[in-house]
Amino acid sequence: MIKIQTLVKKFDKRTAVNGLNLEIEQGEIFGLLGPNGAGKTTTIRMLTMLTKPTSGDILINGLHIGRDDEKIKALIGVVPQHINLDQDLTVGENLELHGRLHHMSESQRKTRTMELLEYVELTERAYDRVQSLSGGMKRRLLIARALMHQPKILLLDEPTVALDPQVRRRLWDLIRRMHNDHITVLLTTHYIEEAENLCNRVAIMEKGKLIALDTPVSLCQHVGAYVVEWEGDIGRKYNFFTAREQAADFAGTLDTTTMIRHSNLEDVFVELTGRKVIG
Ligand SMILES: Nc1ncnc2c1ncn2[C@@H]1O[C@H](COP(=O)(O)OP(=O)(O)O)[C@@H](O)[C@H]1O
Ligand SMILES: [Mg+2]
């Protein structure tokens, strides 16, 4: 569905994306996980034709970015990292405007607006100005706007950044629902928990490159499904094991308080990069 081949983006001397290869299958929720500055937004901006690659190819449903841009625009919906709704317009008018930009007829726009407001649970706010909405509502409206022209692929750049946990979970439910409705979802995030809970497959990106790509479970198994964690002489120490018994045996040999737990994507990231935290 999406095929990225040796994609590079340079800004002057800085290389934001450095030879990225990636294939995203139809119907997946695919997560691009990485710290700030990893190149996630630059990748999304190239996929949405907001910035041109320095080199490399992007194919969407067999169509080439740079050659078939008009056709590709009809296939993709975009939820940008920064909320770029028209704050002075109402909720409904924002959707209406997007429909016009995509050459939808008046009756299509009306039906679709009502459908989508229902979908993202904003029907009661249809006639309110965007500036009166909460952060979570604005994010849901961004999603509705992106879905207005019935795209097959939805690209979301940090869709839940700065939202509190309940609101974040509600957005996850919405993304899962789109997945059930057969929309292919590519999202970026720097929240480990988000990638772990939501994504079928996760690519970990650092400094413009992929450093790992698999299902969350396989990534964790790759470092070892179980971790023994304890307080060492110089900070916390971690040892990884494939089986809980091995972990327990090892913990038994240590002369200190230990914790045995399942490994998570944070562990994978730390193991692969030597860096402590992802945020
Ligand atoms: N328009 C730009 N001009 C110059 N440098 C940029 C521009 N956009 C991004 N960068 C740089 O490219 C790198 C990747 O940025 P970005 O794609 O925004 O990362 P992420 O979304 O993973 O946080 C960063 O070092 C950033 O400073
Ligand atoms: Mg970003």
Average pLDDT for consecutive 10-residue bins of the chain (279 residues)?
97 95 96 93 96 97 96 95 95 97 96 94 97 94 95 95 87 92 94 92 95 93 92 88 94 93 89 67
pLDDT for res 143? 94
Are 197 and 233 within one domain?
no
Are 71 and 155 within one domain?
yes
pLDDT for res 164? 86
Q: Which amino acid belongs to residue 130?
A: V
pLDDT for res 269? 86
Are 228 and 205 within one domain?
no
Residue 28 is assigned to a structural domain of this protein: yes
pTM: 0.90
Q: CA 185, 191, 193: angle at the middle one, nearest 5? A: 85
Residue 21 is assigned to a structural domain of this protein: yes
pLDDT for res 216? 93
CA distances from 239 to 63, 83, 218, 230, 263 (A): 46, 42, 18, 9, 10
Number of structural domains in the chain: 2
Are 197 and 242 within one domain?
no
- Measured from CB, residues less than 6 Å from any atom of ligand 1 are 11, 14, 16, 34, 36-42
Q: Which domain holds residue 242?
A: 219-273
Are 137 and 225 within one domain?
no
Are 229 and 187 within one domain?
no
pLDDT for res 270? 84
Are 136 and 227 within one domain?
no
Residue 279 is assigned to a structural domain of this protein: no
- Alpha helices in 67-191, H assignment, sequence order: 69-75, 91-101, 106-119, 135-147, 165-180
Q: Are the C-beta atoms of residues 32 and 9 closer than 8 Å to each other?
A: no
Are 226 and 169 within one domain?
no
Distance 159 CA to ligand 2 centre (A): 10
Are 130 and 232 within one domain?
no
Are 57 and 80 within one domain?
yes
Q: Which of 13, 41, 43, 158 to mutate to test the pocket of ligand 1 (most atoms within 8 A of CB)?
A: 41
What angle do the packed helices 91-101 and 106-119 form, to 10 degrees?
Answer: 130
Distance 47 CA to ligand 1 centre (A): 15
Distance 274 CA to ligand 2 centre (A): 22
pLDDT for res 167? 87
Are 169 and 256 within one domain?
no
* 199, 214, 229 - which closes a domain: 214
Residue 278 is assigned to a structural domain of this protein: no
Are 201 and 236 within one domain?
no
Instruction: Give the residue whose CA is nearest to atom 2 of ligand 1.
Output: 11
pLDDT for res 276? 60
pLDDT for res 278? 54
